[in-house]
Chains A and B, each alone.
Chain A
């Protein structure tokens, strides 16, 4: 299995992408073969099975955010992508299921046994690598513009389980899958799971009872050490000024910890 993945990686590295067809028919006609391709699957299309597993993970770990609801969300990954009018479909060998996308590009998936059996893909009407994906776990009633640490913990677990982080090549996707699990990423200071704010962020502060701490600079902007050459490999490429790490691994901060933000465009 790993060798097959490696072959795919090497193929991609050598400039010979091996996109496979989900449903193809061949019919010889007077010596000429006609091939009808109904769907060409992008090697990094999102797995419907994985996304359903992520939604199941949300149910299993719901204690982290008992009042919260889950949605999945599309975010820009490439500088030129148009994030308006995005449509999503679940596409298997013999099934296509449209997915309703909200104006904020969030959505949920319904469980479909046939799509699961066919190992369907979740496909957008955009080049897959032009966007990234995240889970959105939101507890209602929080002060506007704030987040709750338990919600972020659950976003990490669901996002990793669902395979939502969009790396820039099969190589990175494969390495990520081979070396990391949701537990490893979400429970480690070196997990490096990126969260995104709604606007460019200048400071992030945690509040739990009497304890208040501003996060260090290295928790912002994907560590603050991304060069122009490195950015295309990170799914924070166009969201760098909205990117932060939260100490989701640090259990000294309870799930009810409130996360507040000072945004760049806030008044000084």
Chain B
């Protein structure tokens, strides 16, 4: 029996399948640092300044947003946590590391 169609369906439906990650919108780090202040900056301000980007929404009502900025050896991730009120609660940065896989 040819199992290929079944396998194809499974891969298409699988919620845990590997997919190429979508990069966050690239922004200028200096402008990001000027504008984004945890406890104050709103969702609307982020959209107006930097545009939409990769987000993950949770059942709790919280959201994480990912922007990126160019950096030597790759890009720095700029990660935001937005509260239920749409205000930035936390911010963190992840620099590129020498061990990061190089883009193909």
Which A residues contact B (CB, under 8 angstroms)? 2-3, 6, 9, 79, 167-168, 171-172, 175, 190, 192, 194, 200, 202-203, 213-218, 220-226, 230-236, 238, 240-241, 252, 262, 264, 268
Query: Which of A221, A231, A233 interacts with B64 by CB under 8 Å?
Result: A221
Residue numbers in A under 8 Å from B90 (CB-CB): 202, 264, 268
Which B residues contact A (CB, under 8 angstroms)? 1, 3, 6-7, 9-10, 13-19, 21-22, 24, 38-39, 54, 56, 58-60, 62, 64, 66, 77, 79, 81, 89-92, 94-95, 97, 99-100
Residue numbers in B under 8 Å from A214 (CB-CB): 92, 94-95
Tally of A-B Cβ pairs under 8 angstroms: 104
Q: List 15 A-B contacts (CB under 8 A).
A: A6-B3, A6-B6, A79-B59, A167-B16, A172-B10, A194-B16, A216-B100, A224-B56, A230-B15, A234-B16, A236-B16, A240-B58, A241-B60, A252-B99, A268-B90
The smallest beta-carbon distance between A242 and chain B, in angstroms, is 10
B21 touches A200 (CB 8 A): no
Secondary structure class of chain A's binding surface, majority of residues: mixed
4 smallest CB-CB distances across A and B, nearest first, come from: A233-B15, A230-B15, A234-B15, A218-B21
A224 touches B21 (CB 8 A): yes
A217 touches B24 (CB 8 A): yes
Query: Which of B22, B24, B62, B100 interacts with A225 by CB under 8 Å?
Result: B22
A232 touches B92 (CB 8 A): no
Q: Given A79-B59, A233-B13, A240-B59, A217–B22 Cβ distance below 8 Å?
A: no
Alpha-carbon gap, A264 to B64, bound state (A): 10
In the complex, the chain A residue whose C-beta lies closest to that of B65 is: A217
The smallest beta-carbon distance between B27 and chain A, in angstroms, is 15
Query: Which of B21, B79, B89, B94 interacts with A268 by CB under 8 Å?
Result: B89
A217 touches B16 (CB 8 A): no
Q: Given A6-B3, A216-B77, A221-B64, A200–B58 Cβ distance below 8 Å?
A: yes
